[in-house]
Amino acid sequence: MSVGFRAVQWNRDKLIYDAILLAAVATYMVVYGMITWRLFPPKNLPDAIDVGIRTTGTCAFLMLTTILCIGPLARLDRRFLPFLYNRRHFGVLMCLVAATHIGFLLSWYGVQHNLPNLLAELTKWEDYGKFIGFPFKAFGLAAFIVILLMASTSHDFWLMFLTPRVWKSLHIAVYVAYGLVVMHVALGSLQDHEQFPVVPIMLIGSVSLVTVLHLVAGRRESGIDLGAKPTKDGWIVVGPSNSIPDKAACIISAPGGERIAVFRDGDQIGALTNLCAHQQGPLGEGRIIDGCVTCPWHGYQYRLADGCAPPPFTEKLVTYRVRLNGGMVEVDPRPLAPGTPAAIMCPR
């Protein structure tokens, strides 16, 4: 959390994460480039540049696939949360790799003094009605524009300027970018005269992995979204107090689909909106650390008693009334004003 805006502060975990990420990307590029060079020895400079196009293109695609897998993996297994916490670094690096891919492409046309043909290829409108002859580079260019926009607005300044809801809606466009990249790679592979077999295998495997992980994570959460049946006076039954894990939460869904995170910290039980004030992350998937509910995405913290961030921070969350009724914890799904004290002490 930050009161103002400042440069990114790297801690030891972030430095290790970034070092491993950079090493993995560099290793992939060296290994893939060497294999491609060996299988298809360049006969001239354009062929050598083509190795760079293939290497950076596949690397960017696999990075984007990994980014889309992190979210569902973190929901299925908390051990993936550190990757979620540092996902912005991953996205910015992926954008840089994609930019390098475009740089190689422009160089390939440039060394042949053929840049006007690239423009002609993208503006040959009759080809957009074909399948095999479709200008697949247009899909890649459109995807890069979306990715560049997301990377450019990744700083918290844009989050506050656009508001969390608009910012999150903008960054959901990563799925649009992925769809465009898939079409770019698929059509490019079909039009590839050298028929490099690893690309279609990589494409099918990556799309299948992203699809399966999202379906499994979505099915796991479908029970929450169905919502619990309210009592006669409109309250929602959560369960016995010991059914709420200590220092963690049970997530319930109010009528209308609003998710509520019901946390227990020892004998204290409180209910907050499941949306973090920072990037609307899933607060209920976090834990109570140092006495504060801590969002799993970027570590934003709030007091359980009233949903307020500890001083000097000023963020406030919507809270909900909680009560014990016949030994069962119940939550009133009607939200209170942000920062309203509403937690209760549960007798042992």
Cα 64 from Cα 144, distance rounded (Å): 11
Assign residue 83 the CATH number of its domain: 1.20.120
Q: How many domains are contained in the chain?
A: 2
Burial of residue 305, with CB atoms counted within 10 A of its CB: 0-12 exposed, 13-18 middle, 19 or more buried: middle
Residue 115 shares a structural domain with residue 181 = yes
| Cα atoms in the 13 Å half-sphere on the side-chain side of 298 | 19
Name residue, tokens 């893939």. 32
Please check whether residue 229 lies inside any domain of the structure. Answer: no
Cα 199 from Cα 212, distance rounded (Å): 20
Please check whether residue 171 lies inside any domain of the structure. Answer: yes
Q: Which of 92, 66, 76, 74 is nearest to 297 (CA)?
A: 74
Q: How many residues comprise the chain? A: 348
pTM of the predicted model as reported, rounded to 2 decimal places: 0.76
Q: Which of 203, 224, 245 is the last residue of a domain?
A: 224
Residue 199 shares a structural domain with residue 298 = no
Q: Which of 181, 202, 224 is the last residue of a domain?
A: 224
Quote the domain boundaries for residue 240: 236-345
Q: What is the pLDDT along the chain (348 residues), one digit of tens a residue?
A: 444 444 445 567 778 888 999 999 999 999 999 998 998 899 999 999 999 999 999 999 999 999 999 989 988 887 887 787 778 889 999 999 999 999 999 999 999 988 888 888 888 888 888 877 788 899 999 999 999 999 888 876 777 777 777 877 888 889 999 999 999 998 888 777 655 678 888 999 999 999 999 999 888 776 665 656 677 788 999 889 888 999 989 988 887 778 899 999 999 999 999 988 887 788 888 889 888 999 887 778 999 999 999 988 888 999 999 999 888 899 999 999 999 999 988 876
